[in-house]
Amino acid sequence: MVYLKHQVFISFSPRLLPPKKTPLTSRTLPMALSSMAAAQESSLLLFLLPTSAASVFPPLISVVVLAALLLRPETAREILVSPAFGDRPVKDAARQLLFHRAMGFAPSGDAHWRGLRRASAAHLFGPRRVAGSAPEREAIGARIVGDIASLMSRRGEVPLRRVLHAASLDHVMATVFGKRHGDLSIQDGELLEEMVTEGYDLLGKFNWADHLPLLRWLDLQGIRRRCNRLVQKVEVFVGKIIQEHKAKRAAGGVAVADGILGDFVDVLLDLQGEEKMSDSDMIAVLWEMIFRGTDTVAILMEWVMARMVMHPEIQAKAQAEVDAAVGGRRGGVADGDVASLPYIQSIVKETLRMHPPGPLLSWARLAVHDARVGGHAVPAGTTAMVNMWAIAHDAAVWPEPEAFRPERFSEGEDVGVLGGDLRLAPFGAGRRVCPGRMLALATAHLWLAQLLHAFDWSPTAAGVDLSERLGMSLEMAAPLVCKAVARA
């Protein structure tokens, strides 16, 4: 079987060699390409593969992914910021799960996507809304502290992943649906977790249908059948909440707090003109927000806390900063304290550098027309992927890249993480930058400060395993279990 039609190779500096632990595995790249990447102990090449070989083998063979071993930050910018790479390739599972109608995958030239982008910037994730959700972040952080204290008293150790995942789910439900802790029944809460877990599994699987279109209709792996069953559950679950909001609005019951109207559902219901959405499109958008928001902060926080457990001197320095900001005030850390916690913010930055949640899969871009990258011609229909993990671990870009040093952001150049500097852009860049990045950072900063203010953190006898597992996100292969002793 002929799998690859042709390849475009772009050469870069021979100094940019990837770390040996670059996370490219057969689970995360198509098998033919992962073996190619493993054989290339070099970052000299960016492999760009046309997404369709239909001109030669119609309609049997489609080549969908590149192998991107490492890019210079300036070359990464050419791909991520260029309108020529404004779209994302849509995997078959993503299309079946409605994501082609949501922010992440809708075509960039589509009026629907432009409307979503405007609504996102102006309403969903704008500064006022992020600030307005501070009380909910604080309350959830306080519940995390209570849950950890309870676990320590009962078990003598804390399985932190479970606590953080539950808190992240609470946060997403409050932000997206206006549902507070306890509003969901146990059954609905379990169903939501089940749907998110199933969605991650489906999108993370290697799917032959993405590369051999004929197999889509045969569905030999059963992925489409599973997607259809999941979408039915999503439509019922999210559709019910949309109807609840409509009924509440009809009764005049929409709450206004500090000039911010309702939650994300209310924002979408208020869109008018060409931005107005059908219920089916709202379901797609809200489902994507739940899906993408539930695990991202939890995974980041688990990495952050693993680093705190492993580096007691950094933990102590951060605690001193938090103590100075809070003083003797009752009630602990408030969201307003974060602005005066630069070291806490640097810890989160350094964690995002060393353990970017989406090192590969978040970076795929599709050329919508012919373009030039690094002076080389790239044809329309080419998929390009930036390996942000490799950039963040490259000694030519970052001194001592394997050392966890939050001080690098205060002693040297303070590199931002919001997409303006491709040396550290964990949320992406350009028109496809993550719209919820400010909310994610606000949450991580506050929760870290609350956890360090409340507890001293230390490892169990088993220690901390920093092995990585790359599925839809880069997470700890072994869930973090540690000790948390209440501070006096």
Rounded Cα gap, residues 467 and 472, in angstroms? 16
Q: CB neighbours of 122 closer than 8 A, spacing ≥ 6?
A: none
Banded model confidence at residue 139, pLDDT cuts 50, 70, 90: very high
Is pLDDT above 90 for 478? yes
Least confident of 297-301, 347-351, 383-387, 423-427: 383-387
More confident residue, 25 or 193: 193
Q: CA 136 to CA 171: how far, in whole Å?
A: 7
Task: Find the mean pLDDT for residues 288-314.
Answer: 94
With a threshold of 0.85, does the pTM exceed it?
no
434 is in an annotated binding site: yes
Name the residue with tokens 């809070």: 326
* 3-state SS, residue 472: coil
Rounded CA gap, 110 and 380, in Å?
18
Rounded Cα distance, 483 and 459, in Å: 6
pLDDT at position 17, please? Answer: 32
Residues in the chain: 488
Among the ranges given (272-281, 419-428, 436-445), the one the predictor scored with the smallest mean pLDDT:
272-281
Check residue 87 and report its DSSP letter. B
Whether the predicted pLDDT of 130 surpasses 60: yes
Q: Which of 112-126, 137-151, 383-397, 413-427 has the highest mean pLDDT?
A: 137-151
Q: How far apart are alpha carbons 394 and 415 in whole angstroms?
A: 15
Residue with tokens 């032959």: 208
Q: Which residues, at least 6 apart from 316, have a Cβ–Cβ distance to it below 8 Å? A: none
Q: What is the pLDDT of residue 213?
A: 82
User: pLDDT band at residue 16, thresholds of 50, 70 and 90?
Assistant: very low
- pLDDT above 80 (res 138): yes
Contact 44, 30 (CB under 8 A): no
* More confident: 351 or 411: 351
Q: Per mean pLDDT, which range of 287-301, 327-341, 348-362 is the poorest? A: 348-362
For residues 149 and 413, which has the higher predicted lDDT (pLDDT)? 149
Check residue 473 and report its DSSP letter.
S
Burial 431-447 (b: 16+ CB within 10 A, else e): bbbbbbbbbbbbbbbbb
Give me the DSSP letters along 107-172.
-TTSHHHHHHHHHIIIIIS-HHHHHHTHHHHHHHHHHHHHHHHHHHHHHSSEEHHHHHHHHHHHHH
Q: What integer is the mean pLDDT of 73-95?
A: 86
* pLDDT mean across residues, the chain: 81
Alpha carbon distance 35, 373 (integer Å): 25
CATH topology of domain 8-486: Cytochrome p450 (1.10.630)
Give per-residue pLDDT as tens, 203-219.
888 899 888 888 888 99
Q: Work out whether strand 158-159 and strand 468-470 pair parallel, antiparallel, or are unpaired.
A: unpaired
What are the tens digits of pLDDT across the range 224-277? 999 999 999 999 999 999 999 999 888 876 654 444 556 889 888 887 776 788
Chain Cα centroid distance, residue 241: 24
CA dist., res. 327 & res. 466, Å (int): 34
The Cα 466–Cα 475 span in angstroms is 9
Residue pLDDT, tens place only, 161-172: 999 999 998 898
Closest CA to 484 of 75, 77, 159, 142: 159
Look up residue 485 and give its two tokens. 């002793």
**pLDDT at 181 (0 to 100):** 62
Helix (H, G, I), strand (E, B) or coil at 396: coil
Q: What is the pLDDT of residue 362?
A: 57
pLDDT at 223 over 60: yes
pLDDT tens track for 25-73: 323 333 333 333 333 322 323 443 333 333 333 333 333 333 333 357 8
Cβ–Cβ under 8 Å, residues 350 and 360: no
> pLDDT exceeding 90 applies to what percent of the chain?
39
Task: Return the pLDDT at 194.
Answer: 92
* Beta bridge partner(s), residue 383: 49, 366
Among 30-34, 142-146, 248-252, 396-400, which is the least confidently predicted range? 30-34
